[in-house]
Amino acid sequence: MKGRMIASTGGKGGTGKSTFAILLAIKLSNDGEKVVLCDCDVECPNDYLLLDEEILDPEPVYRELPELDEVKCEKCGLCSGVCKENAIFWVKEKFPLFFIELCSGCGACWITCPNDAIKPAEELAGESFVNKVNRTLWLVTGRSKPGIAETGPIVGEVKGRAMKLAEEVGADHLIVDTSPGTHCNVIQALLKCEKAYVVTEPTPLGAHDAGLILELLQKMQIPPEIVLNKADVGDKKPIEKIASGFGVSIILEIPYSDELVRAYSQGRLEDMVDLI
């Protein structure tokens, strides 16, 4: 991919990650740059709503899950022993029971089974969608199937599709919008990003969670910059302290405005692009 891959993240939920990602995408696209925006918050994807787009024509994302052949199974229980997720329950002389909501699809059970009684079966884990928002802006949305616990691999797959699209259209930028938090689904979204915007708010909560995501970014060696949203509501000091502690600058402050809340609520963020 020739373009730059950058992330909008933040640790805490509801700080404005998606708002910032969209404003940035629209601004760059207005400047004539080609942009692919990838909504990697697959558990609760929202960018399409904020862009007032409908998501149609899903492309499935599959994962492999164990399927037991009771004819071949000799009830030895080895599968249960190797499962680190404790997703296989076994008692002597009984067939093993699979708790699919705990299964990560790692394959340990079917690799181990001496009787070839466990086979990987493809199951729908999620979907991806592509919208052409305007001449130079594309949106790729990932959405997990409710009940799927392990969403990191879905993020990885959807991001791969966005990278492919970016390559095809010759995008100058791929903007990755992550979910809140710092665990595997966020790590997958951040992988290989050149830069990350940490969108946060001036409260002790924002500061605490920004500290956690900055720690993760440091481990991943991705250079961050802080975007302070709702900058005039609260107290900036804890954020400034975190920023200087990590040697990161606050590059943008977005004040709270009823107008922005309305635009957010009505899928009209393009009117607010001057904020950044």
Partner 1 sequence: MKIVVASGKGGTGKSMLASSMSILFSKTSRVIACDCDVDAPNLGLWLGITEYDSKKKISTSEKAYINPEKCAECGECFEACKFGAIERTGGFSIDPLLCEGCGVCQLVCPADAIELNKVMNGEIRINETQLGFPLVSGQLYPGETGSGKIVQELRRKAEEFDHDFMILDSAAGIGCPVIASVTGCDFALLVTEPTPTGFTDLGRILEIVNHFQIPFGIVVNKWDINPTLSEKIESWGGERLLGKIPYDRKVVDSIVNLKPVVYSDTAVTSEISKIFEKLKVHNKNATSLRTL
Instruction: Look at residue 240 and give its three-state secondary structure.
Output: helix
96 or 153: whose CB is closer to partner 1?
Answer: 153
In the chain, the DSSP E strands lie at 4-9, 35-39, 59-68, 88-89, 97-98, 118-134, 137-144, 173-177, 195-200, 224-229, 250-254
The size of the interface with partner 1 (CB under 8 A), counted in residues, is 64
184 or 273: whose CB is closer to partner 1?
Answer: 184
Q: What separation in angstroms does the CA of 85 have from each of 73, 98, 155, 202?
A: 21, 11, 20, 38
- Binding status of residue 100 toward partner 1 by CB under 8 A: no
Distance CA 2, CA 269 (A): 28
Structure tokens at 14: 């509801």
Question: Of residues 145-174, which lie at the interface with partner 1 (CB under 8 A)?
Answer: 146-153, 156
Closest C-alpha among 50, 44, 25 to residue 35: 25
- Binding status of residue 76 toward partner 1 by CB under 8 A: no
33 or 64: whose CB is closer to partner 1?
Answer: 64
For partner 1, which residue of 1, 27, 58, 64 counts as binding (CB under 8 A)?
A: 64
Question: Pattern 232-251, binding to partner 1, x per CB under 8 A?
Answer: -xxx----------------
- Binding status of residue 13 toward partner 1 by CB under 8 A: yes
Distance CA 36, CA 98 (A): 39
State in angstroms the smallest separation of the CB of 156 from partner 1: 7
Burial label, 53 (beta-carbon count in 10 A; 0-12, 13-18, 19+) = middle
Closest C-alpha among 64, 150, 56, 63 to residue 102: 150
Q: Given the rule CB under 8 A, which of 27-35, 80-88, 133-141, 239-247 is the region that contacts partner 1?
A: 80-88
Question: Of residues 174-203, which lie at the interface with partner 1 (CB under 8 A)?
Answer: 179-187, 191, 203
Binding interface with partner 1 (CB under 8 A):
11-15, 18, 41, 43-44, 46, 49-50, 64, 82, 84-85, 101, 104-108, 111-112, 144, 146-153, 156, 179-187, 191, 203-205, 208-209, 212-213, 215-216, 219-220, 233-235, 258, 261-262, 264-265, 267
